[in-house]
């Protein structure tokens, strides 16, 4: 005997007002209604130095070879659900120990979501130093958990005592450590990170989105810590449009996470294109090497400017502080000179008076410096 669902629908949400705001308020969870959407400004024709992208494209010969590969793709078929060949290639490229399992995501953002959905339960806590990558907080809220941010020290280094104390008090299901940290650009002290891993009752995710620019990694420590997971992405090294992230860790954890991964989350275009691109790793190495040299040059120029204080960076961006109260004005002035960077000042806290610039091509970096100098005058 089928249940007559219509008989159970309360009067106030009749079909007439089910699209109205009352219905939205009734059904969309309050923690989601309270969120601000992830905002990506339209760069238009501006020099785009706001999103940690690699500014370089591929040589024509490489583009031709890639298009040849695409010609043979069977779009009528579902892709390999495990992306077996691509996984193998990534494990070689990233030197993932053979005893570890890996999971691929539609960007590393999807993997962050997967981890948090898997551990989500009311009252559970996700913990990270503050400020850090904003998606940790956003996805924690959508997964229905509490987020605890532990302030970094004034120089954006980890406050070991505060972190260990907070881990004791909150018993977080997951701790996120961005290594290097976005938006500050520095590498945290590896010894303190190790203490955090050892003090944590749950997972510790070391997010190495900027690994290509830092060469520091916790991948080599995966076998020492059962609760450690390492995140990588192809986005910052030069394939942001592709959307491919990788999570590495112990098979016991990843086997569970794999159960809630949607089948075919890595589409055929991504599988084929990423495999092709990783077969030409030397091009990305050359580009990221150039970006690192240009970063170091830009750091020096910024150091020499009166009124600007610069934070060290092991990533493809630089955080700097301008005279008190002027950040938004300086950001807008730089924009009026056709260069788009990121204004971190509205975030507040340690990011007060701070701006963040992504390393571009040498002429783009020069345009930025000229615009900044003009704005400071
Ligand atoms: C950019 C960024 C990511 C997101 O990478 P996608 O793979 O493009 O989703 C993850 N973590 C940090 C710290 C980032 O800065």
Question: How far, in Å, from the CA of 155 to the mean position of ligand 1?
Answer: 22
Question: Measuring from atom 14 of ligand 1, which residue has the nearest CA?
Answer: 209
Q: Check residue 4 and give its pLDDT.
A: 56
The answer, yes or no, to whether residue 14 has pLDDT greater than 90, is: no
Which CATH architecture does the domain made up of 47-55+282-376 adopt? Alpha-Beta Complex (3.90)
Residue given tokens 């000179």 in the structure block: 337
Question: How far, in Å, from the CA of 213 to the mean position of ligand 1?
Answer: 14
Domain boundaries, the chain: 47-55+282-376, 75-279
Tell me the C-alpha distance between 237 and 246, whole Å.
Answer: 13
Question: How far, in Å, from the CA of 108 to the mean position of ligand 1?
Answer: 6
pLDDT per residue over 319-374, tens digit each? 999 999 999 999 999 999 999 999 999 999 999 999 999 999 999 999 999 999 99
Residue given tokens 């850090």 in the structure block: 132
pLDDT per residue over 86-103, tens digit each? 999 999 999 999 999 999
More confident call, 9 vs 120: 120
Is the CB of residue 245 below 6 angstroms from any atom belonging to ligand 1? yes
Q: Check residue 233 and give its pLDDT.
A: 97
Segment (H or E) for 339: strand 339-340
- Read off the pLDDT band of 39 (50, 70, 90): confident
Is the CB of residue 209 below 6 angstroms from any atom belonging to ligand 1? yes
Fold identical between 47-55+282-376 and 75-279?
no
- Read off the pLDDT band of 19 (50, 70, 90): low
Is the CB of residue 53 below 6 angstroms from any atom belonging to ligand 1? no
pLDDT per residue over 103-130, tens digit each? 999 999 999 999 999 999 999 999 999 9
Does residue 199 contact residue 166 with C-beta atoms inside 8 Å? no
Q: Check residue 8 and give its pLDDT.
A: 52
pLDDT per residue over 69-80, tens digit each? 999 999 999 999
Q: Which of 356, 350, 349 is nearest to 330 (CA)?
A: 356
Give the pTM.
Answer: 0.93
pLDDT per residue over 223-236, tens digit each? 999 999 999 999 99
- Give the nearest ligand 1 atom to 236 CA: 1
According to CATH, what is the number of the domain 75-279?
Answer: 3.40.640.10
Q: Check residue 11 and give its pLDDT.
A: 47
The answer, yes or no, to whether residue 5 has pLDDT greater than 90, is: no
User: What percent of the chain shows pLDDT beyond 70?
Assistant: 95
Question: How far, in Å, from the CA of 304 to the mean position of ligand 1?
Answer: 31
Looking at residue 316, what DSSP letter applies?
S
Tell me the C-alpha distance between 96 and 204, whole Å.
Answer: 17
Is the CB of residue 178 below 6 angstroms from any atom belonging to ligand 1? yes
- Give the nearest ligand 1 atom to 234 CA: 7
Tell me the C-alpha distance between 3 and 7, whole Å.
Answer: 9
- Give the nearest ligand 1 atom to 244 CA: 7
- State mean pLDDT over 158-172: 98
Is the CB of residue 184 below 6 angstroms from any atom belonging to ligand 1? no
The answer, yes or no, to whether residue 9 has pLDDT greater than 70, is: no
Question: How far, in Å, from the CA of 233 to the mean position of ligand 1?
Answer: 7
3-class secondary structure per residue, 152-217: CCCCCCCCHHHHHHHHHHHCCCEEEEECCCCCCCCCCCHHHHHHHHHHCCCEEEEECCCHHHHCCC
pLDDT per residue over 240-285, tens digit each? 999 999 999 999 999 999 999 999 999 999 999 999 999 999 999 9
Residue given tokens 């590969």 in the structure block: 69
Mutate to test the pocket of ligand 1, among 38, 104, 135, 313 (most ligand atoms within 8 A of CB): 135
- Give the nearest ligand 1 atom to 52 CA: 1
pLDDT per residue over 190-208, tens digit each? 999 999 999 999 999 999 9
């Amino acid at each position: 005997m089928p249940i007559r669902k219509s008989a159970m629908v309360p009067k106030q949400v009749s079909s007439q007002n089910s699209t109205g705001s009352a219905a939205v308020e009734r059904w969309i969870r309050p923690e989601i209604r309270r969120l601000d959407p992830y905002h990506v400004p339209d760069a238009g024709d501006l020099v785009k130095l706001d999103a940690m992208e690699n500014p370089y494209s591929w040589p024509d010969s490489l583009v031709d070879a890639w298009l040849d590969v695409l010609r043979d793709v069977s779009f009528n078929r579902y892709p390999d659900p495990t992306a077996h060949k691509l996984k193998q290639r990534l494990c070689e490229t990233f030197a993932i120990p053979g005893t570890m399992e890996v999971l691929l995501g539609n960007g590393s953002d999807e993997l962050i979501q997967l981890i948090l959905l898997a551990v989500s339960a009311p009252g559970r806590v996700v913990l990270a130093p503050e400020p850090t990558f904003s998606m940790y907080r956003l996805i924690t809220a959508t997964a229905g958990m509490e987020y605890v941010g532990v302030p970094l020290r004034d120089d954006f280094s980890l406050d070991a005592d505060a972190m260990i104390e907070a881990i004791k008090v909150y018993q977080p299901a997951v701790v996120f450590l961005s290594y290097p940290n976005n938006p500050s650009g520095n590498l945290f002290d590896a010894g303190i990170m190790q203490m955090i891993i050892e003090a944590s009752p749950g997972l510790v995710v070391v997010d190495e989105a900027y690994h290509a620019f830092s060469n520091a990694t916790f991948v080599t420590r995966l076998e020492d810590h059962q609760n450690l997971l390492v995140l990588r992405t192809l986005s910052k090294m030069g394939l942001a449009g592709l959307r491919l992230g990788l999570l590495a860790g112990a098979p016991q954890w990843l086997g569970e996470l794999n159960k809630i991964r949607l089948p075919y989350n890595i589409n055929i275009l991504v599988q084929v294109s990423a495999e092709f691109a990783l077969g030409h790793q030397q091009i990305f190495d050359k580009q990221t090497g150039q970006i690192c040299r240009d970063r170091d040059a830009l750091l020096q120029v910024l150091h020499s400017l009166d009124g600007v204080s610069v934070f060290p960076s092991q990533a493809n961006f630089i955080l700097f502080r301008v005279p008190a109260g002027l950040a938004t004005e300086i950001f807008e002035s730089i924009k009026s000179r056709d260069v788009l960077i990121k204004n971190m000042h509205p975030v507040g806290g340690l990011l007060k008076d701070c701006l963040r610039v992504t390393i571009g091509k040498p002429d783009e970096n020069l345009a930025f410096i000229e615009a900044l100098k003009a704005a400071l005058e």
